[in-house]
C-alpha cells in the first residue's frame, strides 16, 4: 500500500483508504465480532485480538514506513478504528491508544528515541500507554503532583497516575511530571518510562461500565529511575506536547464513537426488518423509520466532520494549530454525543430485547458512554471550541448589517 493515490470518491478517500477499510472490516467481522460478547462478559484483556492485529499489520497504521508502519496517514487509522469499533469498542481502542501513547514520541522524540521505540510499536510487539491523568488532576493538568527530579544521568519520578488505559499490558508509557514547581503548566515535562523501570508499578484495575476488556488502572512511581535521555523534548515543554497530542488523538476517540454508532444502526436496522408484529416487519412502522432516519443522518454528518479532520492531519500544507484544535474538538464532541444518542435509540428500537445481554446494543450503549468522558470530557471540548471561536472573532471584521 502507498500513501499517495489519485483515485478518490465523494469522501475524498483514495483506493488505499478503501483497501484499508475492507481489510479492517474483514478482520473485524471474521475475528473480532465472534469474540465481542465474551470480551465484555469476561472483562479480560483480549490478548488474542492483539495478536491478530499484529499479524494483520493493523498496529502499523499510525506509523511511517521508515519505522515499519504502513505510512498511510491519520485518515486511514480513523477508518480502521471506525470499522473495528462497529463490532467491539474495546478492540477499536487497541488501535486508538497505540496512537495516543506513541504520538509524543513521534512529535517530540529524538531520532534515537524513535528508532528505539516506534518499530516495536508499529509491529505490535510492544503496546503503548499515555500517563497524564491523576486522582486530583483530570481536566486541570497543571494540578498534577507527580514529580521528576534530575539526578546525574537519571530522572527520578515520584507520584501516581489514574485511569490509564493499557495499564499493566503496555510495554512503554509516556508519563507527564512536574520538573519545576510553582510555575503551573510551564513546569510540566514528558518522559518515556519502560514497563520494567525500577520503581515503577501498576496498582488496581478499575471495574468499568463499558470497554471492559480494556485495562484501566493506576500507575505508581516510587523513586522510579529512568535514563536522562528518556525525556521528550526539553524540560517544561510537556504541557504544550500534551495538547499537541490531544489535537491528534481525539479523532481516534471520535472514530471509536462513530464506529459504535454505525454498528448500532446496522444491528437495529436488521432487527427492524426481521422482527414481525401485527403480521408484518416492524420496519414498516413510520415512527420507527423516523428514529432510524435520525440516527443515520446524525451519524453521517458526524462522519463528514471527522473525515475532514483526517484530511487536515494528512494535508501536506500546514493547517493552523488553532484550526486543528477546534475541528478536532468538534469531531470528538459530535461523534461521541452521536454514539450515546444512537445507541440509546437502538436499545429503544429493540424494546425489551435491547435491554438484555443476548443482544449487542446494550453493550454498545455502555461502551459509548466513556467516549464522552476520556480524551477530554465533552464539556471541555465545548470550552475549547467556544474559546477558539471567540478568539478568531476578535480579529474578524463585523458583518455590515
Q: What is the pLDDT of residues 98-157, one digit of tens each?
A: 999 999 999 999 999 999 999 999 999 999 999 999 988 877 777 899 999 999 999 999
Residues across the chain: 401
Whether residue 53 lies inside any domain: the answer is yes
Model confidence pTM above 0.75: yes
In the chain, the number of structural domains is: 3
Do 274 and 375 belong to one domain?
yes
Do 246 and 390 belong to one domain?
yes
**Residue 191 main-chain phi, psi, to 5 deg:** -140, 150
Whether residue 2 lies inside any domain: the answer is no
Do 141 and 35 belong to one domain?
no
Residue 145 is classified by DSSP as -
Do 229 and 327 belong to one domain?
no
Domain hosting 53: range is 15-123
Whether residue 332 lies inside any domain: the answer is yes
375, 391, 392, 397: the active-site residue: 375
CA distances from 140 to 72, 218, 246, 381 (A): 34, 18, 14, 14
What is the model's pLDDT at position 140? 75
Residue 206 is classified by DSSP as P
Whether residue 7 lies inside any domain: the answer is no
Inform me whether the pLDDT recorded for 7 exceeds 50.
no
SS3 169: coil
Q: Which of 217, 236, 255 is the last residue of a domain?
A: 236
Whether residue 1 lies inside any domain: the answer is no
Inform me whether the pLDDT recorded for 237 exceeds 80.
yes
Question: How far is residue 372's CA from residue 382's CA, in Å, rounded to a whole number?
Answer: 12
Do 159 and 175 belong to one domain?
yes
Q: What is the pLDDT of residues 29-48, one digit of tens each?
A: 999 999 999 999 999 999 99
CATH number, position 185 = 2.40.110.10
Do 231 and 350 belong to one domain?
no
Do 262 and 316 belong to one domain?
yes
Inform me whether the pLDDT recorded for 3 exceeds 50.
no
Do 362 and 249 belong to one domain?
yes
Whether residue 3 lies inside any domain: the answer is no
Whether residue 281 lies inside any domain: the answer is yes
Question: Is 375 one of the annotated active-site residues of the chain?
Answer: yes
Do 356 and 248 belong to one domain?
yes
Amino acid at each position: 500500500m502507498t500513501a499517495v493515490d489519485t483515485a478518490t470518491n465523494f469522501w475524498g478517500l483514495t483506493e488505499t483508504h478503501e483497501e484499508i477499510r475492507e481489510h479492517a472490516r474483514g478482520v473485524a467481522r471474521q475475528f473480532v465480532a465472534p469474540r465481542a460478547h465474551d470480551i465484555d462478559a469476561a472483562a479480560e484483556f483480549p490478548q488474542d485480538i492483539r495478536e491478530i492485529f499484529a499479524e494483520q499489520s493493523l498496529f502499523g497504521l499510525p506509523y511511517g514506513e521508515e519505522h515499519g508502519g504502513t505510512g498511510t496517514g491519520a485518515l486511514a487509522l480513523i477508518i480502521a478504528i471506525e470499522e473495528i469499533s462497529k463490532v467491539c469498542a474495546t478492540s477499536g481502542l487497541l488501535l486508538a491508544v497505540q496512537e495516543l501513547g506513541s504520538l509524543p514520541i513521534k512529535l517530540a522524540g529524538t531520532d534515537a528515541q524513535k528508532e528505539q521505540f516506534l518499530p516495536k510499536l508499529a509491529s505490535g510487539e510492544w503496546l503503548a500507554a499515555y500517563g497524564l491523568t491523576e486522582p486530583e488532576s483530570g481536566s486541570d493538568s497543571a494540578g498534577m503532583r507527580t514529580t521528576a527530579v534530575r539526578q546525574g544521568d537519571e530522572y527520578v519520578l515520584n507520584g501516581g497516575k489514574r485511569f490509564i488505559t493499557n495499564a499493566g499490558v503496555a510495554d512503554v508509557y509516556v508519563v507527564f511530571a512536574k520538573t519545576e514547581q510553582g510555575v503551573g503548566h510551564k513546569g510540566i515535562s514528558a518522559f518515556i518510562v519502560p514497563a520494567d523501570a525500577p520503581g515503577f508499578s501498576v496498582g488496581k484495575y478499575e471495574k468499568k461500565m463499558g470497554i471492559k476488556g480494556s485495562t484501566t488502572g493506576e500507575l505508581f512511581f516510587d523513586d522510579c529511575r529512568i535514563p536522562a535521555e528518556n525525556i521528550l523534548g526539553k524540560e517544561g515543554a510537556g504541557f504544550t506536547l500534551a495538547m499537541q497530542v490531544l489535537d491528534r488523538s481525539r479523532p481516534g476517540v471520535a472514530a471509536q464513537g462513530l464506529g459504535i454508532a454505525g454498528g448500532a444502526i446496522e444491528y437495529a436496522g436488521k432487527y427492524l426488518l426481521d422482527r414481525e408484529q401485527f403480521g408484518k416487519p416492524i420496519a414498516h412502522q413510520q415512527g420507527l423509520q423516523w428514529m432510524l432516519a435520525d440516527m443515520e443522518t446524525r451519524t453521517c454528518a458526524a462522519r463528514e466532520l471527522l473525515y475532514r479532520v483526517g484530511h487536515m492531519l494528512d494535508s501536506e500544507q500546514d493547517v493552523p494549530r488553532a484550526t486543528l484544535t477546534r475541528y478536532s474538538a468538534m469531531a470528538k464532541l459530535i461523534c461521541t454525543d452521536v454514539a450515546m444518542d444512537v445507541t440509546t435509540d437502538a436499545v429503544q428500537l429493540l424494546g425489551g430485547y435491547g435491554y438484555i445481554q443476548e443482544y449487542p446494543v446494550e453493550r454498545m450503549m455502555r461502551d459509548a458512554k466513556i467516549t464522552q468522558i476520556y480524551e477530554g470530557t465533552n464539556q471541555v471540548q465545548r470550552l475549547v471550541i467556544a474559546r477558539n471561536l471567540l478568539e478568531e472573532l476578535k480579529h474578524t471584521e463585523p458583518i455590515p448589517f
